[in-house]
Amino acid sequence: MKKKVVVFGSFVVDLTGRTPRLPIPGETVMGSSFAMGPGGKGSNQAVAAHRAGADITLVTKVGRDVFGTVATDFYKKEGMDTSYVFEDEKKETGCALISVDENTAQNEIVVISGACGNITSEDVERSRSLIESAGILLLQLEINFDALCKVVEIAHGAGVTIVLNPAPAAQLPDDVLRRIDIVTPNETEAQVLTGVKIENQADAERAAKVFMDKGVKEVVITLGSLGAFAMNQEKSELVKRLSVEAIDTTGAGDAFNGGFVMALAEGKDLFTALRYGNVTGALSVTKLGTAPSMPLREDIDAMYEKAYG
């Protein structure tokens, strides 16, 4: 039986410009195209998990503005539950200003959190029964920290498996980390949290041990061109990156996390779930955009079979 997944995190509207190259400070570069669409790490990961076949509910917050309707319109079209999309009376809906180099697929992003940086204790309490009934809770670091801590406390108290994608990178107190079951940073985020610069598998193992010494049970570190690394008490493994033609890397980490929790919710072990995350992330970079680029389950299964048999 599939476990229920709750994603508690951010929604922002992505404002994406594609350019021949990324500007240097003080420079104006003429872009070639612009797109507006749903984004935010929490929302992207929820969409990725939903399209991958997970039973998910997203808890997020938007403003009473035109950007807020971008969220609810998109979720309704996707067939996602909007019961926990809260509205802020004063704060605007968050947005992300994204520049993508169309030659290298690299990006630069500025996020303004807006309403999802103003999740109140009342919002958390309204979500309490949902959180407590979850099998897996997926979190990121784009909501306000006091709300994050309260959500972790509720989930931990109810015995819910907590997966934290610590992005954007920020220091976290040890009393939060020791309540986390699985942490899923990229190499930069892992360095911020552990102090270990990761350039190879041995470095990834050292960083994973730092997390586990702080009480985290299982660690997954995505390593860009190197692939992805996973470690628990029994073993560790580096899984190579899948070769695809990347046209937009924005949201690849979110796709990875969505595919990863989908597999966990279906009872897959850490290392199999890592492979599902790998496939989901690889497929997402072959299309433009963030949420709209998240792959469907049939495509994930087809590529998984081809890559891993």
Q: Cβ neighbours of residue 254 under 8 Å, at least 6 residues apart?
A: 41, 44, 45, 48, 165, 284, 290, 294
Q: At what angle do helices 252-265 and 41-51 cross, to 10 degrees?
A: 50
Confirm if 142 and 61 have CB atoms less than 8 A apart.
no
Q: Cβ neighbours of residue 14 under 8 Å, at least 6 residues apart?
A: 35, 36, 37, 38, 39, 95, 96, 98, 250, 289, 290, 291
CA distance 284 to 141: 21
CA distance 239 to 102: 28
Q: Which residue has the tokens 């958390």?
A: 124
Catalytic residue among 55, 254, 269, 299: 254
Active site residue 254: yes
DSSP string, 77-129: HHT---TTEEEESSSPEEEEEEEEETTT--EEEEEEEEGGG---HHHHHHTHH
Of 258, 163, 140, 168, the closest CA to residue 218 belongs to 163
Which three-class secondary structure state does DSSP give residue 35? strand
Confirm if 93 and 13 have CB atoms less than 8 A apart.
yes
| Active site positions, annotated | 254
